[in-house]
Amino acid sequence: MNFITSFLKSFLNNNTITISGELITGENIKINKFIRIDGKVILSDSVIIEDNCSLKNCKVGTNTIIKKGSIVNDCIIGSDVAVGPYARIRPDSNIGNKSQIGNFVEIKNSIIGQNTKINHLAYIGDSKIGDDVIIGAGVVTCNFDGAKNNKTIIENNSFIGSGVYLVAPVNIGNYSTIGSGSVITSDVKSGELVIARSRQVTIEGWERPSPNKKN
C-alpha cells in the first residue's frame, strides 16, 4: 500500500477530488470525477471508483467497483464486489466477496455473505445475510419497532422474492424461498416455501365512480 501522492496518475481529473483525511491505495487504481474522501480510506489493488461517489472511513477490497453516485461510510467491502450505482453502504456493514449491491440499495449495520445479490431498490438494516442469497427488488427489513432495532437473519442459499417485508426479529432458514409480495412475521424453516399475502378478490359488476355522473 502507498499514499495517494504516489498514485496521482490514478485520478482522471485531479481537481475535482476532495480529500479530507488519509487515502491509502494499492496498484492499478482508477478514480473518476467529483469524488469526496473523508477519514481513512483504504483502496486495494485494481479498485474502480466511478463519478460522484463519497467514501468515508472504509476499506475496499481488490477488484471491487464502486459505481457512480454511491455513498460508502464506515464499513468494509470485500473483493470482487459491485456496489451501485446510487447505492448507500452505512456504518458497521461488512460486504462479502463477490457480492452485488445494486442501484438504490441501502445497507445499514449488516453483514452480507459472499456471492449474495441485492440488486434493486432494497433496504437491509440490522441484518445478517449468508452466502449465495438472492434478495429481490423492493425488499425491506422492518428492523425498528418504535423503541429498538431488531435483527433479521437470512441463512445461506435463500431466495427472497420481490416486494417482501421481513418484520424483525425474524430468521429465514437455509434454502428457503419467500414468495413475492409476502409480509413475513414468523421464522421460516430451512427449505420451506412461504407465501404470506392477501388473496386476490374480483368484485363483479363494480363501476368506477365518475365525477361527471349524476346521483
Whether the pLDDT of residue 78 is over 90: the answer is yes
Nearest to 10 by CA among 20, 37, 95, 21: 37
Average pLDDT over residues 166-185: 97
Q: Which residue has the cell 478514480?
A: 31
- On whether both 101 and 30 belong to a single domain, the answer is yes
The residues facing 170 across adjacent strands are 152
- On whether both 164 and 103 belong to a single domain, the answer is no
pLDDT at 16: 81
- On whether both 130 and 77 belong to a single domain, the answer is no
Write down which residue in 53, 76, 108 finishes a domain.
108
Whether the pLDDT of residue 124 is over 90: the answer is yes
- On whether both 98 and 154 belong to a single domain, the answer is no
pLDDT at 15: 64
- On whether both 94 and 31 belong to a single domain, the answer is yes
Spatial separation of the C-alpha atoms in residues 19 and 167, rounded to whole Å = 40
Average pLDDT over residues 154-175: 98
Spatial separation of the C-alpha atoms in residues 149 and 61, rounded to whole Å = 29
Q: What tens digit of pLDDT does each residue of 14-64 get?
A: 668 888 989 999 999 999 999 999 999 999 999 999 999 999 999 999 999
Average pLDDT over residues 56-73: 98
* Domain span including residue 184: 126-197
Residues 6+ apart with CB under 8 A from 88: 70, 71, 72, 105, 106, 107
CB 60 within 8 A of CB 72: yes
How many domains does the chain fold into? 2
Spatial separation of the C-alpha atoms in residues 24 and 82, rounded to whole Å = 20
- On whether both 10 and 82 belong to a single domain, the answer is yes
Q: Which CATH number characterizes residue 19's domain?
A: 2.160.10.10
Write down which residue in 75, 108, 141 finishes a domain.
108
pLDDT classification of 5: cutoffs 50, 70, 90: very low
Whether the pLDDT of residue 9 is over 90: the answer is no
The residues facing 214 across adjacent strands are none
| Average pLDDT across the chain, whole number | 92
Q: Do the domain assignments include residue 133?
A: yes
Whether the pLDDT of residue 2 is over 60: the answer is no
Average pLDDT over residues 159-167: 98
Of 209 and 131, the structure prediction assigns the larger pLDDT to: 131
- On whether both 80 and 13 belong to a single domain, the answer is yes
Half-sphere exposure of 82 (CA within 13 A, CB side): 12
CB 65 within 8 A of CB 52: no
pLDDT at 198: 87
pLDDT at 159: 98
Residues 6+ apart with CB under 8 A from 44: 26, 59, 60, 61, 62, 64, 79
pLDDT at 6: 45
CB 123 within 8 A of CB 109: no
- On whether both 155 and 58 belong to a single domain, the answer is no
Q: Which of 6-10, 103-107, 134-138, 205-209 has the lowest mean pLDDT?
A: 6-10
Write down which residue in 55, 76, 108 finishes a domain.
108
- On whether both 34 and 80 belong to a single domain, the answer is yes
CB 20 within 8 A of CB 38: yes
Whether the pLDDT of residue 201 is over 80: the answer is yes
Average pLDDT over residues 197-210: 89
pLDDT at 3: 46
| Catalytic hit among 120, 149, 159, 165 | 120
Q: Do the domain assignments include residue 213?
A: no
Q: Do the domain assignments include residue 116?
A: no
Average pLDDT over residues 173-180: 98
Annotation says 197 is catalytic = no
Spatial separation of the C-alpha atoms in residues 127 and 17, rounded to whole Å = 33
